[in-house]
């Protein structure tokens, strides 16, 4: 039977289970990826396992998030990560070398490999046909220790691409069209596989943009074939030997289908404050713009940056607009500089920053009150920029540049009326520089791990009790993101290695009193609606509530990564059997789970919950392995027990 590409890669890596959508499978992981905001905790978790060295083919640690050194915390974390990477055989990308996804695409990714990354945008590697999956830091730490990765087998949505993008339309508009059609929930439980004649018209970095923002669809991953364009990119990186052709078999089937005629697309834009609030740029054209930022984890490749350089050449940033460029990698910036692009930007009045995430996670570059910020970033969740009530739009580099010149949101096709489109191509051979990567040592026995005062050991969590008497600490609506639960930004991100400190910021933007109430409640629960926990893979959105005493979350539906993280740290992920029962749960009401431990041990899928004396049925949809993790009080507890 003809097979799609996703099935081929999963079969080649399958350790346990059958490829039936929704059932649990275990797959071998070839590469792991950590960044500094998630890596500090993941490294602490790896250290807790007591292993002398990583057991995965290639492990990489990137320092790309917490780059602002406003005090000692980030610098201490960087020293810890550098020493831990050297100790355990992990590749270390130094601060300023670039965003994990861009650098891994350039220097390490191999077609047909699997990558598990502690960052939800890890599927950027789809650009070179890597099946990359975002996960919590503990799952990545376990993969570093040689364990397979467990996940619900995804369904595969086949998206046929035909035609070719017109001038002033780019890969960003392809994924914005997907979000317009399918919303932030449309990819949950799926891999998005692109195929068809239109694929060959997209460069590897165009594909990387589309793969990156597949995370905004809620997708498990995205994948493109490995073809001549893939080979061209790897050859340009001096890694042509890594290439192999990969594609779906002719006549292969998919669980779902969609089709996009690339030639029919126009410039699109996601309006505040969700990546799926997508409209044509022309519909919001004329809106005053105060800030423009190009780059970060998406649209930060050579093609994207050089396109902006060519558009800005001979122009000036409009008065009143602050225009920033965040290169995705030092390599991208060096090649742009070699081709004269840096001078074009400087002459236009653009500010060039170090290669890193920066404003994408609120690490600087916050817009002012009531200001409009136009960004090529992947997310515009409320407050993510660092400014409460922000007005962040997501768009292509072409739209960003045109708007920066005119001072208002501008359909970039308007520029085509006075000038030709700068059809920038990626270099045939990149200027290469790996001097900011520390490669693993053959003998690391003498390396000492450096820990500053902000590096706090992983907290101990107790096992699940026989019964739970709890209180509803907070009741919420639909589409609660991990940014709502555990904010990013320059105040909170530096606390990622300090769970007691970071827990004081849980739900800070939603309800600043939540931490205090949770502590008083002792055992507490959170109640919410659809798609709870969408967005970032940050496991701190599970660890910190657990530290505060949260033992269960009851919602209408979960985002994949957050649900797995809840299990990893001993929080019951329950779903309302009857969605209307959510109306019975109010902040402060009393809830009891009688005999809950025995129910989970017995394999029960229905968990009765008493709320103010009325019984409600909730569903526990997890695997047998995850039941053991919940009973132990978390995955790390179970792993430690099994090792002894």
Question: Which residues lie below 8 Å from residue 97, measured CB to CB, with a gap of 6+?
Answer: 62, 63, 64, 103, 329, 330, 355, 436, 437
Query: Per-residue pLDDT for 276 more than 90?
Result: yes
295 & 242 share domain: no
Q: From edge to edge, which strands make up the β-sheet containing 58-62?
A: 131-134, 114-117, 31-35, 58-62, 91-93, 437-438
Nearest Cα to 152, choosing from 254, 222, 220?
Answer: 220
459 part of a folded domain: no
Predicted confidence at residue 455, as pLDDT, reads 86
Nearest Cα to 361, choosing from 43, 39, 64?
Answer: 64
Query: Per-residue pLDDT for 200 more than 80?
Result: yes
Would you mind telling me the total number of residues written for the chain in this entry? 644
**Residue 644 — pLDDT band, cuts 50, 70, 90?**
low
pLDDT tens by residue, 536-561: 888 999 999 999 999 999 999 999 99
Nearest Cα to 124, choosing from 342, 360, 359?
Answer: 360
247 & 294 share domain: no
Predicted confidence at residue 55, as pLDDT, reads 96
Mean pLDDT, the chain, whole residue set: 95
C-alpha 460/C-alpha 457 separation (Å) is: 9
pTM: 0.91
Percent of the chain with pLDDT over 70: 100
Predicted confidence at residue 69, as pLDDT, reads 85
Predicted confidence at residue 522, as pLDDT, reads 87
Question: Which residues lie below 8 Å from residue 371, measured CB to CB, with a gap of 6+?
Answer: 290, 291, 387, 391
457 part of a folded domain: no
Nearest Cα to 175, choosing from 107, 186, 197?
Answer: 186
Strands 91-93 and 437-438, sheet pairing = antiparallel
Sign of the torsion formed by the C-alpha atoms of 460, 463, 467 and 472: positive
Structural domain boundaries, residue 302 = 268-417
Query: Which position has the token pair 């995370």?
Result: 215
623 part of a folded domain: yes
Predicted confidence at residue 333, as pLDDT, reads 97
**Residue 280 — pLDDT band, cuts 50, 70, 90?**
very high
C-alpha 145/C-alpha 138 separation (Å) is: 10
Query: Per-residue pLDDT for 359 more than 90?
Result: no
Nearest Cα to 465, choosing from 603, 617, 570?
Answer: 570
Q: Select the more confidently predicted residue: 365 or 130.
A: 130
49 part of a folded domain: yes
Query: Which of 417, 435, 460 lies at the terminal end of a domain, its last residue?
Result: 417
Predicted confidence at residue 303, as pLDDT, reads 96
pLDDT tens by residue, 462-497: 999 999 999 999 999 999 999 999 988 888 888 888
End-to-end alpha-carbon separation of the chain, Å? 45
Query: Which of 248, 264, 280 lies at the terminal end of a domain, its last residue?
Result: 264
pLDDT tens by residue, 583-628: 999 999 999 999 999 999 999 999 999 998 899 999 999 999 999 9
58 part of a folded domain: yes
CB-based contact 577:617 (threshold 8 Å): yes
258 & 272 share domain: no
278 & 237 share domain: no
331 & 186 share domain: no
426-436: average pLDDT: 96
Percent of the chain with pLDDT over 90: 87
Overall domain count for the chain: 3
- How many helices (H) does the chain have, and how many strands (E)? 21, 27
Predicted confidence at residue 380, as pLDDT, reads 93
Nearest Cα to 188, choosing from 160, 151, 224, 163?
Answer: 151
Question: Which residues lie below 8 Å from residue 343, measured CB to CB, with a gap of 6+?
Answer: none
Give the tokens for residue 119.
Answer: 């960052």
222 & 285 share domain: no
480 & 604 share domain: yes
253 & 401 share domain: no
Query: Which of 240, 264, 288 lies at the terminal end of a domain, its last residue?
Result: 264
**Residue 643 — pLDDT band, cuts 50, 70, 90?**
low
347 & 216 share domain: no
Q: Which of 268-277, 451-460, 469-478 has the lowest mean pLDDT?
A: 451-460
Q: Which of 383-387, 432-436, 467-471 has the lowest mean pLDDT?
A: 383-387
CA of 478: how far to CAs of 26, 506, 597, in Å?
30, 18, 29
Query: Per-residue pLDDT for 458 more than 70?
Result: yes
Query: Per-residue pLDDT for 358 more than 90?
Result: no
Q: What one-character DSSP code corresponds to residue 319?
A: T
426 part of a folded domain: no
Query: Per-residue pLDDT for 311 more than 90?
Result: yes
Question: Which residues lie below 8 Å from residue 332, measured CB to CB, with a gap of 6+?
Answer: 98, 102, 300, 301, 302, 305, 355
425 part of a folded domain: no
CATH of residue 490's domain is 3.20.19.10
Predicted confidence at residue 12, as pLDDT, reads 98
439 part of a folded domain: no
Predicted confidence at residue 297, as pLDDT, reads 87
**Residue 454 — pLDDT band, cuts 50, 70, 90?**
confident
pLDDT tens by residue, 317-342: 999 999 999 999 999 999 999 999 99
Predicted confidence at residue 495, as pLDDT, reads 87
29 & 82 share domain: yes
Predicted confidence at residue 494, as pLDDT, reads 86
Query: Per-residue pLDDT for 221 more than 70?
Result: yes
363-377: average pLDDT: 94
219 & 303 share domain: no
CATH of residue 299's domain is 3.30.499.10
238 & 251 share domain: yes
């Amino acid at each position: 039977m003809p097979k799609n590409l996703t099935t081929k890669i999963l079969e080649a890596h399958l350790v346990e289970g059958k490829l039936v959508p929704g059932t649990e499978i275990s797959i071998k992981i070839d590469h792991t990826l950590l960044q500094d905001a998630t890596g500090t905790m993941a490294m602490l978790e790896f250290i807790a396992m007591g292993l002398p060295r990583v057991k995965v083919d290639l492990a990489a640690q990137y320092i790309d998030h917490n780059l602002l050194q406003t005090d000692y915390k980030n610098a201490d974390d960087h020293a810890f990560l550098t020493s831990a990477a050297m100790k355990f055989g992990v590749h270390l990308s130094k601060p300023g070398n670039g965003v994990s996804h861009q650098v891994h695409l350039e220097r390490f990714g191999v077609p047909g490999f699997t990558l598990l990354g502690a960052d939800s945008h890890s599927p950027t590697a789809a650009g070179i046909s890597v099946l990359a999956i975002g996960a919590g830091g503990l799952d990545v730490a376990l993969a570093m220790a040689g364990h397979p990765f467990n996940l619900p087998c995804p369904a595969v949505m086949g998206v046929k691409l035909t035609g070719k993008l017109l001038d002033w339309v780019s890969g960003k508009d392809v994924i914005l069209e997907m979000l317009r059609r399918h919303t932030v929930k449309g990819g949950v439980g799926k891999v998005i596989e692109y195929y068809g004649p239109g694929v060959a018209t997209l460069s590897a970095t165009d594909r990387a943009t589309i793969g990156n923002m597949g995370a905004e669809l809620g997708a498990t991953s995205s994948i493109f074939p490995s073809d001549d364009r893939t080979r061209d990119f790897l050859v340009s990186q001096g890694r042509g030997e890594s290439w192999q052709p990969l594609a779906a078999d002719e006549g292969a089937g998919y669980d779902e289908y969609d089709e996009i005629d690339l030639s029919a697309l126009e410039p699109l834009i996601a309006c505040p404050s969700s990546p799926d609030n997508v409209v044509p740029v022309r519909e919001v054209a004329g809106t005053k713009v105060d800030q423009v930022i190009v780059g970060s984890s998406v649209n930060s490749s050579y093609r994207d940056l050089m396109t902006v350089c060519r558009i800005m050449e001979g122009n000036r940033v409009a008065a009143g607009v602050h225009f920033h460029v965040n290169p995705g990698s030092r390599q991208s910036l060096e090649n742009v500089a070699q081709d004269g692009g840096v001078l074009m930007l400087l002459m236009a009045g653009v500010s060039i920053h170090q290669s890193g995430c920066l404003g994408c996670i609120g690490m600087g570059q916050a817009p002012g009150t009531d200001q409009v910020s136009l960004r090529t970033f992947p997310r515009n969740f409320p407050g993510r920029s660092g400014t409460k009530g922000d007005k962040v739009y997501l768009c292509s580099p072409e739209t960003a540049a045109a708007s920066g010149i005119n001072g208002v949101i501008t359909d970039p096709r308007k520029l085509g009326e006075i000038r030709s489109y700068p059809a920038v191509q990626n270099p045939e051979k990149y200027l290469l520089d790996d001097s900011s990567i520390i490669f693993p040592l053959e003998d690391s026995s003498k390396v000492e791990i450096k820990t500053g005062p902000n590096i706090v050991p992983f907290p101990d969590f107790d096992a699940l009790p026989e019964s739970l008497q709890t209180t509803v600490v907070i009741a919420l609506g639909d589409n609660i993101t991990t940014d709502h639960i555990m904010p990013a930004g320059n105040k909170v991100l530096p606390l990622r290695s300090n769970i007691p400190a970071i827990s004081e910021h849980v739900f800070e933007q939603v309800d600043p009193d939540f931490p205090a109430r949770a502590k008083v409640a002792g055992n507490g629960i959170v109640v919410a609606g659809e798609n709870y926990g969408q967005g970032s893979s940050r496991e701190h959105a599970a660890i910190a509530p657990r530290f505060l005493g949260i033992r269960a979350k009851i919602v209408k539906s979960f985002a994949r990564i957050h649900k797995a993280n809840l299990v990893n740290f001993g929080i019951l992920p329950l779903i309302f059997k009857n969605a209307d029962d959510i109306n019975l749960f109010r902040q402060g009401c009393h809830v009891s789970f009688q005999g809950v431990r025995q129910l989970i041990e017995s394999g029960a899928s229905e968990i009765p919950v008493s709320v103010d004396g009325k019984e409600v049925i909730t569903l526990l949809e997890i695997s047998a392995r995850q039941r053991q993790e919940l009973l132990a009080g978390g995955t790390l507890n179970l792993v430690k027990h099994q090792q002894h």
